[in-house]
């Protein structure tokens, strides 16, 4: 009777409330990472400089002394923390979009790997969630494989930010770091390189599937030098979560972006997502569009100490073909028409 109706209404209210709380936690989890990506390095540097000028200067001095002592740790595989990688906040981060990791083949723990991640998107949200956290179960899907997401070396010169990044298994995308992981860290290592880099981020926009790859061959040379297998990875939906102002080639805007890219290592993008309180307003939050990261079949690479350009070109062409085949095989499963083609620039 009436009592049952009231109880039913209260149950509905309870579940609605729980749903709203989970949605807010998802928003908070994504917002903290966006702010980390955009401002944490600069903010922590300024705060440290300010503390040096206060009565608490000894705290800042101790951290700076530790920083000098620990300076080369990022180049030696970093300092990952399984506790940080398993934080519950990353599961809320995953569910906001949601983000999925799809395994297509097993990976041998007796080999090392270089994953080529495509496309870059604005922030590489799929790359971070899948390989720098355990939210999508990368360690369960690829047991015995240690993923290292490679990013700008400049991030590891920023106080506090460097330690935060290393805790997730993130390393600098430079030769010293990659050489160490692939030659002095045993087997079962997988370095994830966002091959298109800053140049690719300048062209990412919803509805466009294009990668900057034709003249990106350094990762293939590294794979040959270490005998590390190449694995193509494509994230469907990575370009859908932000809208960007695209400057045409030859415009002043593109000129400024390329100058930043050349001298600093990243290209400033003018982009927007949704607002904090409404999806109908502009803001820094990405749109909640699904991102599905598909890890393709490994390409067996021989170890050649000094590979020739012909050998690099040969394995690079195999990699490009494998990436296109991976895209074509899975595109219709993740919302793209059969006529969609991957643009390789």
| pLDDT per position as a tens digit, 289-325 | 999 999 999 999 999 999 999 999 999 999 999 999 9
CB contact set of 332 (below 8 Å; sequence gap of 6+): 338
pTM: 0.90
pLDDT at 250 over 90: no
pLDDT at 262 over 90: no
Q: What's 39's DSSP letter?
A: I
Rounded Cα gap, residues 134 and 87, in angstroms: 8
| pLDDT per position as a tens digit, 172-185 | 999 999 999 999 88
Which two tokens mark 31?
């917002």
Q: What is the mean pLDDT of the chain?
A: 91
Exposure of 293 by Cβ count < 10 A (0-12 exposed, 13-18 middle, 19+ buried)?
buried
What does residue 117 show for φ and ψ, rounded to 5 degrees? -95, 130
pLDDT at 261 over 80: no
Rounded Cα gap, residues 138 and 148, in angstroms: 12
> H or E segment at 95?
helix 88-96
Which segments of 195-324 are extended strands (E)? 210-211, 229-236, 243-244, 271-274, 282-283, 291-295
148-162 burial code (b ≥16 CB/10 A, e <16)? bbbbbbebbebbbbb
Range from 24-28, 71-75, 253-257 carrying the lowest mean pLDDT: 253-257
What does residue 120 show for φ and ψ, rounded to 5 degrees? -70, -40
What does residue 114 show for φ and ψ, rounded to 5 degrees? -120, 115
Characterise 197 by phi-psi region: left (phi > 0), alpha (psi -120 to 50), beta (else): left
CB contact set of 51 (below 8 Å; sequence gap of 6+): 57, 59, 60
pLDDT tier, 216 (very low <50, low <70, confident <90, very high otherwise): very high
């Amino acid at each position: 009777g009436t009592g049952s109706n009231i109880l039913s209404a209260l149950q509905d209210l309870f579940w609605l409330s729980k749903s709203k709380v989970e949605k807010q936690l998802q928003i908070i989890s994504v917002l903290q990472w966006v702010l980390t990506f955009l401002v944490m390095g600069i903010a922590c540097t300024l705060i440290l400089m300010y503390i040096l000028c206060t009565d608490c200067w000894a705290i800042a001095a101790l951290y700076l002394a530790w920083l000098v002592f620990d300076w080369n740790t990022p180049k030696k595989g970093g300092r990952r923390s399984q506790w940080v990688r398993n934080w519950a906040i990353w599961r809320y981060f995953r569910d906001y979009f949601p983000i999925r990791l799809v395994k297509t083949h097993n990976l041998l723990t007796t080999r090392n790997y270089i994953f080529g991640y495509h496309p870059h998107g604005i922030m590489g949200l799929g790359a971070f969630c899948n390989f720098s956290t355990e939210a999508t179960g990368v360690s369960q899907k690829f047991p015995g494989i240690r993923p290292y997401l490679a990013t700008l070396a400049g991030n590891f010169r920023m106080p506090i930010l460097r330690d935060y990044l290393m805790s997730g298994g993130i390393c600098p995308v430079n030769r010293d770091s990659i050489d160490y992981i692939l030659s002095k860290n045993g087997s079962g290592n997988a370095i994830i390189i966002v091959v298109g880099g800053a140049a690719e981020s300048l062209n990412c926009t919803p509805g466009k599937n294009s990668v900057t790859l034709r003249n990106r061959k350094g990762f293939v040379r590294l794979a040959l030098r270490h005998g590390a297998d190449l694995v193509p990875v494509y994230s469907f939906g990575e370009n859908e979560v932000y809208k960007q102002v695209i400057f045409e080639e030859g415009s002043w805007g593109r000129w400024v972006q390329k100058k930043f890219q050349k001298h600093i290592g990243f290209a400033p993008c003018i982009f927007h997502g949704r607002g904090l309180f409404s999806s109908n307003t502009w803001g820094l939050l990405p749109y909640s569009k699904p991102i599905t990261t598909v890890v393709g079949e490994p390409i067996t690479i021989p170890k050649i100490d000094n590979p020739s350009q012909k050998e690099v070109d040969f394995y690079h062409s195999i990699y490009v073909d494998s990436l296109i085949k991976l895209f074509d095989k899975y595109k219709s499963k993740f919302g793209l028409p059969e006529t969609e083609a991957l643009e390789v620039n």
